[in-house]
Amino acid sequence: MYGLKSVMGGRSVLSCCSIFLILMGACFAGNFHDDFTVVWSRENVIVDDASRTVKLSMNEVAGASLASSEAFLFGSFSVKLKLIKGDSAGTVCSFYLTSYGSNHDEIDVEFLGNETGQPYVVHTNVFSNGVGGREQRMFLWFDPTESFHTYSVIWNHHQIL
């Protein structure tokens, strides 16, 4: 049971420009390579079958990205994330849930890099039927570089949390 414990009427995609990203949850009973597709930078994707975790890392030229092989309607999606310490301006670590087609729906969660000493910012957006414009920026009240923190999106037919 790897990584994603959910998603929406589309695939879930993770893009990583941070030191580590660990997917948590349990929804898939199969093998990682059956349940996910590495979109880019395969060398930065480390699968640990024993702990059923996936680590995405970053090097000097690239982060990594993976996507679920299946589409889902509702559920919960969680990542355990630790951001880059110090001057991380120009990096973005994100995860998003998306559908494809003319009625594009998407939930974005992006962690923006910063200059040393500045607060870290989480940028979110929701697209419904191809229309976004629901951006929110939140300054974190804790240091997301000190340890891993769990971030989740819960989506059912009534609401998105």
CA distance 57 to 20: 5
CA dihedral 136, 94, 6, 140 (to 10 degrees): -50
Candidate list 43, 60, 70, 106, residue with the active-site label = 106
Q: How close are the terminal C-alpha atoms of the chain, in Å? A: 23
Q: Is 110 a catalytic residue?
A: yes
Other residues' Cβ atoms within 10 Å of the Cβ of residue 11: 20
Q: Is 43 a catalytic residue?
A: no
List CB contacts of 159: < 8 A, sequence separation 6 or more: none
44 CB-side CA count, 13 A: 22
Candidate list 43, 70, 110, 115, residue with the active-site label = 110
If we measure between CA atoms, which residue out of 119, 152, 153 comes closest to residue 138? Answer: 119
If we measure between CA atoms, which residue out of 135, 67, 124, 76 comes closest to residue 99? Answer: 67
Which active-site residues does the annotation give? 106, 110
